[in-house]
Structure 1
Amino acid sequence: MKKSLLLSILSLFFIQCISVKQKVKASKNTNIQTTETAKPKLVVGIVVDQMRYDYLTRFQSKYSDGGFMRMLKNGYNCKNNHYNYIPTYTGPGHASVYTGTTPENHGIIANDWYDKFEKKEVYCASDASQSSVGVEGQWAGKMSPHRMQTTTVTDQLRLDTQQRGKVIGIAIKDRGAILPAGHSANGAYWFYGKDKGNWITSTYYTNELPTWVKEFNAADEAEKYMTTWNTLYDINTYVESDTDLSKYEGTFKGKANATFPYDLKSLQEENGGFDILKATAYGNNLTTDFAIAAIKGENLGQDNDTDFLAVSYSSTDYVGHRFGVNSKEIQDTYLRLDQDIERLFATLDAEVGKGNYTIFLTADHAAVHVPSFLQDQKIPAGYFDSKPLKDHLKSFLNTMYGSENLIENISSGQVFLNYEEIKRLKLSTTAIENALQQELLSYDKISKVYTRTAFLNSEFTHGIAASLQRGFNQKRSGDVCFVLDIATIPYSRTGSTHGSGFNYDTHVPLLFYGNGIQKGETLQRTEITDIAPTISALLEISFPNASTGNPIESALKN
């Protein structure tokens, strides 16, 4: 009896001690919650433009403990994460990450595409009804997300919190800031380097830059990076990359070859002013500076409504396109990005509090090895000259049907037919599609061809056909879609590119870290469309309205 009474008293004592300890911990900073059961005060979505999955493993020995490795060791790593549609470009990639669906539904079918109703090329984020804010009389701010036809996880957060939860999008590329931020964002900002190297926005969001953005621009932050770009560490230790002087790399105007160091100040005038920073590791440094300014300037994560910061690192794409995926320039860019992510973590720890935020990190696409390099390694690869194709197909259709006007446009691996001409000649659209399919299959370096009729009448469940179909938007896409041979690109013989549905373009990182995230990893296939429903489930909000992905349950704590 006495033992039972003593145990009861001790139990009550320990419970009171724990309760007092929690209250004391909370009272130290009333703005920072420490309980892991609460929803995150801030979600940070990081998209690294053109990041291949193997950049995590290839450069791992040189990463610090506080950047990528912090996420790898203490977060959840989806090691077999892929894009599940074609084309793998920046615009569709960012839209798909945040909408949880593919171009079939969200409508961003490429960065630029032929609008068969307007009869012209359109850009995924352009909006002539808007004006630039932060730069006078320029097209650079005439942007909005109006071409994206579905909601994003950021939109759903705004709706769920009655617009109390803030959403901010940041990227050097306008589309990398605008599409993730969604339709209802408080702000989206991107870099304009042709003037003073300022961050700008659009009247879609505001008519005047916030004070913190004005102060950032006034401090001429971009100017401090107009210096010499040399390797972070001894270049001789960069054994994970090709030689510095390589025939597979492009370079800047005014520089004879692609070798370190790069005197950016001397190259500035010939390379678009401050825009030269975009294609260096310093573009990511500048993006991190601005993201940190946003966290502080917008007071993100400082109340009970979850906020969302969408950050896209664009410079990795510019560097990859110019120098290639096997260059010392790309390695140095990722080693420096690792330090940027560590800086971002330090800011979040200080401003929001450990355990109070959630981060995911992924990419909008990956990239192919330079085909000329692959050829020298005796690996099948090649280049495709798209210019003669249109003339060839016009001539073919003229021979068959007596008209050279049956094709309106060929772009992004799609052929757009001229419906008015088909109607005038009383021809069958299906018959023309089938004829083009057979002709394209006989064309050198084209491996697969699918028609609009096939996509409308059949459901493909796997392989390239299924990826093409998920990227096919009935209203916006063309009438015949074709796929090039593996590792064959319509690009220069230096530098890397992307766009296909093959593993080198689809396999990208997906890391989760922080509040509500389980520590671990999986080799089960996950897809890019799973990110938005996973974050929605974590936040207990509605999924984006056209989401087709599934929450990654194993990444979430019970």
Structure 2
Amino acid sequence: MCRSKLRIFSVLFLAVFFFTFGVAQKKSKSENDNLLRTSPKLVVGIVVDQMRYDYLTRFFDQFGEEGFKRMISQGFNCKNNHFNYAPTSTGPGHTSVYAGTTPATHGVIGNNWYDKDSDSEVYCASDENYVSVGTTSSAGKMSPHRMNVTTITDELRLHTQMRGKTIAIALKDRGAVLPGGHTANAAYWFHGEDEGKWITSSYYMNNLPKWVKDFNSSGIVQSYKKPWTTLRDINSYIESGVDDNAYEGVFNGEVKPTFPHSPPSLLEKNKSFDIIKSTPFGNSLTADFAIEALKEERLGKDDDTDFLAVSFSSTDYVGHKYGVNSKEIEDTYIRLDIELARLFKALDKEVGEGEYTVFLTADHGAIDVPSYLKDSKIPAGYADFESFHTKLSEFLKYTYGTEDIVKNFSNLQLFLDHKIVENLDLELKDVQETIAKEFLNFDFVDRVYTGFQMWNNNYTNGIPYVLQNGYNQKRSGDVLLVLKPGTISYGETGSTHGSPQIYDTHSPLLFYGKGIPQGSTVERTEIPDIAPTIAALLGIAFPSGTSGKPIAEVLR
């Protein structure tokens, strides 16, 4: 009897042991899998053009619960996120977000730049080897060929043996072409002028898909040619300056920069479609098209992770015209919040809530209008480059006997003719330094660095660190200027960007969705950290030029 009970007890013990061991093994394997990768059905990258970080806090009480607040309350907020390079502009911004590195490596050193090899100006996305698709204009002759490295979108395509789709969308061509990477299934951008169509390049396809043609002919674009009034009572817009002021630009046909905006070109239904970009309706149009792409391309519908890259560009156009402290900017962000909520609702429906991962950031920040800052007793001003060029020419003739020693001055960089320097039996280092010292005599110049300094030093913080990360040895110039804080080379109305100053570098970075914990950090994060963070989350290879690092708090 005792032996029988002992035998039964032994059998039960072994059964419980092996059952528990098996469960533990399965749990351990599951935990290891989770540590290795997260597998959302879709990754959505959102770049808001010219978005300062403080727009999140300034306009927070104006936002609904399902847009920006949804990402902040349920996702992860990097409060001290910065561009770690200059120039802070759209082409380098989008490339750096998706490539996980800076212009020093990826090569996109501006929207436009002087090309030393061709002795001409080039555009970051232009490519004469391809033709336009969807328009008879040259607006589609684009490709990512000037980008030297892969992107996170490329690496996802490679990881899935090209099964995972990448679709990139923006009003601006560069806002779609560069995030899409070299392997995108499609990149679409908006061609305004007298057409008002979403177009692409033969780099991606020879004909527009039927759904794009149907969208273009649907009348949706024409529906946004309407007066721009504030979404809410303008008296509730207390996080911006007075509506009628001297710091804002106007549309053609308007006398004052005040609401409502209804110039003739905004009311004409059959031409002048570019004006839509400079209203919040451009963001609405972008959301419409992105949601249509989500549905028609069946993104997030299979086991291979897809990628949807969306850039909202109207925020930049509005900021340039009206400035960062305008009623127009406040209204634009209130409306953008609604468009984000609409996009998230579509993602919930089409992909499934909790089945997708989103990040949201910007391509650069922006400065307050310097004339407004000056009137507020804050140091600010405008660079007088007309006088600068005259005095530089005189200096070059006096010092070197010719002004031809300089081939180009653009993007606050001076390019020397190295052959002339050599023919004059001069040392390049000495010429760079001599001209740099002369630049310091201009009141609007804060500091100057030479190409020799960029080559021979390893800066780890401050302005020189930011400049060095933007300095590409093959493409950048010989002397680099930095304007005084608060000083710009721009008109006296509206805001701009491009500097290494903190108002141009501090931008939002939000993560939300599958695999993302709720939380925030005030530890410094940098734009090149985004791509390796997403790569680590997905368990895929980092983009080939990655210099950023995964943000550990986002992956816990």
Pick the TM interval, shorter chain: over 0.9
Q: Deviations over 1:498-522 (max 9, x none)?
A: 0111111100000000000010000
Shift of 1:444: 1.6
CA contact (8 A) 1:253 1:271 kept: no
Which residue of structure 1 aligns with residue 119 of structure 2? 119
Q: Deviations over 1:494-553 (max 9, x none)?
A: 000001111111000000000000100000000001000000001100000110001011
Alpha-carbon spacing, 1:38–1:533, altered in 2? closer, same or farther (3 Å): closer
Which residue of structure 1 aligns with residue 289 of structure 2? 290
What TM-score, normalized by structure 1, do the two folds share?
0.92
Indicate yes or no: 2:510 matched with 1:511: yes
Within-5 A mapping of 1:400-439 = 400-439=399-438
- Give, in whole Å, the separation in 2 of the partners of 1:412 and 1:139: 25
Which residue of structure 2 aligns with residue 57 of structure 1? 57
CA contact (8 A) 1:532 1:543 kept: yes
Within-5 A mapping of 1:138-149 = 138-149=137-148
Q: Deviations over 1:387-419 (max 9, x none)?
A: 332332222121111112111111111000012
CA RMSD of aligned residues (A): 2.2
Which residue of structure 2 aligns with residue 281 of structure 1? 280
Q: Deviations over 1:186-216 (max 9, x none)?
A: 0000001113210000000001001111111
- Give, in whole Å, the separation in 2 of the partners of 1:38 and 1:503: 34
CA contact (8 A) 1:264 1:276 kept: no
- Give, in whole Å, the separation in 1 of the partners of 2:382 and 2:254: 26
Which residue of structure 2 aligns with residue 259 of structure 1? 258
Counterpart amino acid of residue 76 in structure 2 = Y
- Give, in whole Å, the separation in 2 of the partners of 1:205 and 1:220: 25
Indicate yes or no: 2:67 matched with 1:67: yes
Which residue of structure 1 aligns with residue 28 of structure 2? none
Which residue of structure 1 aligns with residue 521 of structure 2? 522
3-state DSSP of counterpart to 2:352: coil
Within-5 A mapping of 1:378-397 = 378-397=377-396
CA contact (8 A) 1:100 1:530 kept: yes
Which residue of structure 1 aligns with residue 339 of structure 2? 340
3-state DSSP of counterpart to 1:352: helix
Shift of 1:265: 5.0
- Give, in whole Å, the separation in 2 of the partners of 1:497 and 1:153: 28
3-state DSSP of counterpart to 2:198: strand
Which residue of structure 2 aligns with residue 186 of structure 1? 185
- Give, in whole Å, the separation in 1 of the partners of 2:393 and 2:236: 53
Gap regions ≥5 residues in structure 1 = 17-36
CA contact (8 A) 1:255 1:267 kept: no
Q: Deviations over 1:299-332 (max 9, x none)?
A: 0000000000000000000000000000000000
CA contact (8 A) 1:100 1:529 kept: yes
- Give, in whole Å, the separation in 1 of the partners of 2:207 and 2:266: 33
Counterpart amino acid of residue 98 in structure 1 = Y
- Give, in whole Å, the separation in 2 of the partners of 1:429 and 1:556: 47
Indicate yes or no: 2:101 matched with 1:101: yes
CA contact (8 A) 1:39 1:306 kept: yes
Indicate yes or no: 2:481 matched with 1:482: yes
- Give, in whole Å, the separation in 1 of the partners of 2:384 and 2:152: 39
3-state DSSP of counterpart to 2:139: helix
Counterpart amino acid of residue 60 in structure 1 = F
- Give, in whole Å, the separation in 1 of the partners of 2:238 and 2:473: 47
Matched residue count: 533
- Give, in whole Å, the separation in 1 of the partners of 2:230 and 2:175: 27
Q: Deviations over 1:141-164 (max 9, x none)?
A: 011100000100000001111100
What TM-score, normalized by structure 2, do the two folds share?
0.93
Q: Deviations over 1:252-280 (max 9, x none)?
A: 01111111111255545699701000000
Moved over 6 A (4+): 269-272
Which residue of structure 1 aligns with residue 222 of structure 2? 223
Counterpart amino acid of residue 67 in structure 1 = G
Which residue of structure 2 aligns with residue 241 of structure 1? 240
Which residue of structure 1 aligns with residue 41 of structure 2? 41
Shift of 1:459: 1.1
Alpha-carbon spacing, 1:47–1:271, altered in 2? closer, same or farther (3 Å): farther
CA contact (8 A) 1:227 1:265 kept: no
Gap regions ≥5 residues in structure 2 = 24-36
Identity, in percent, stands at 57
- Give, in whole Å, the separation in 2 of the partners of 1:266 and 1:112: 28
Which residue of structure 2 aligns with residue 537 of structure 1? 536
3-state DSSP of counterpart to 1:319: helix
Counterpart amino acid of residue 114 in structure 1 = Y
Structure 1, 356-365 or 436-445: larger mean CA deviation: 436-445
Counterpart amino acid of residue 220 in structure 1 = G
CA contact (8 A) 1:145 1:183 kept: yes
Shift of 1:129: 0.9
Which residue of structure 1 aligns with residue 149 of structure 2? 150
CA contact (8 A) 1:132 1:201 kept: yes
- Give, in whole Å, the separation in 1 of the partners of 2:225 and 2:536: 43
